[in-house]
Amino acid sequence: MDHEIRKLAWQLAAHAEWQAMSGTRAIPVGLPAIAGAASPDGSLAEVALDPATMRSAAALPSSERLAVAASAAGAPSAPSEPVASSRTLDDLRGEIGDCRRCRLAGGRTQIVFGVGNPRARLMFVGEGPGRDEDLKGEPFVGRAGMLLTDIIEKGMRLSRADVYICNVVKCRPPDNRNPEPDEVEACSPFLRQQIALVKPEAIVALGKFAAQTLLATKTPIMRLRGNWFAYEGVPLMPTLHPAYLLRNPGDKKLVWQDIKQVMSRLGLAS
């Protein structure tokens, strides 16, 4: 019975998190924070729960808390044991192998795993590989990738090699369509483990699809961007996709506003 009560407590916490990510603002009450939308001062918002509930939930092992909360929030299932036990990015890439876990394998040229510093403080997550990425095997190398590189190098004054870049799915969807839910589900353990291995201090979700997938929400990107959220405890800033900026250059100023918040959180001069 006690286990069921504690499980219910974390289901309620996960539901509160989902509400926060959908636009509901939490009320800080001095209790431990549950990852959610940003408060006005830019910190991660706190979701108010009954103190007894919080003490009961806190008694759960961390792995159980994450599993229960993720399940209640409708997040993808946890990685299989071999994936979760990968100790390096190279191990994880080896675990993926010549992946045939979803239909995207049939149309790809090669798997686009990720690139950058395996201990990066900052991680960029996009939607999926496009034509150029599929051919080269590296994320964000086309026109949109060149713009992302400019944001990193000219705007943030970092090297592209300083950050880590990857996508929600590792194979190119046909005609660059959005990945289907089952395709995301098949790939999600690998993305989760990439994040766990890199241990970034912040994540930038590039575009609607990446942001909505990581946050398990349908909230429009224009409402998400510019606000701090969290993915499994890692601060996450949604912003507009570089490909969108190529079509709408006037919105580059919005992305720069978001990136300046990221730089501030990381202690980088803007």
Residue range 140-171, pLDDT digits in tens: 999 999 999 999 999 999 999 999 999 999 99
What does the pLDDT read at residue 172? Answer: 97
Distance of CA 163 to CAs 114, 203, 214, 265, Å? 11, 10, 19, 15
Question: Tokens standing for 57?
Answer: 């939930």
Mean pLDDT of 32-37: 39
User: Is 0.85 surpassed by the pTM of this model?
Assistant: no
Question: Tokens standing for 69?
Answer: 């909360």
Please, which pLDDT band fits residue 86 given cuts at 50, 70 and 90?
A: confident
- Confidence check: pLDDT of 237 > 50: yes
Please, which pLDDT band fits residue 20 given cuts at 50, 70 and 90?
A: very low
What does the pLDDT read at residue 270? Answer: 74
Higher pLDDT, 55 or 249: 249
Mean pLDDT of 236-258: 98
What does the pLDDT read at residue 250? Answer: 97
Query: For 33-42, 200-209, 212-221, which range has the lowest pLDDT when averaged over its residues?
Result: 33-42
Q: In the chain, what are the domains?
A: 2-72 (no CATH), 81-266 (3.40.470.10)
- Look at the alpha carbons of 83, 85, 89, 91 in this order and tell me if their dihedral is positive or negative: negative
CA atoms lying within 13 Å on the CB side of residue 224 = 31
Please, which pLDDT band fits residue 138 given cuts at 50, 70 and 90?
A: very high
- Confidence check: pLDDT of 182 > 70: yes
Higher pLDDT, 31 or 180: 180
Q: Closest by alpha carbon to 229, among 241, 221, 237?
A: 237
Please, which pLDDT band fits residue 173 given cuts at 50, 70 and 90?
A: very high
Greatest mean pLDDT among 14-28, 43-57, 70-84, 168-182: 168-182
- Confidence check: pLDDT of 79 > 80: no
Higher pLDDT, 72 or 263: 263
- Confidence check: pLDDT of 45 > 90: no
- Confidence check: pLDDT of 130 > 80: yes
Q: Provide CB contacts within 8 A for 105, sequence distance 6+.
A: 99, 171
- Confidence check: pLDDT of 226 > 80: yes
Distance of CA 68 to CAs 63, 84, 115, Å? 9, 17, 31
Query: How high does pLDDT run on average in the chain?
Result: 79
What does the pLDDT read at residue 82? Answer: 54
- Confidence check: pLDDT of 98 > 80: yes
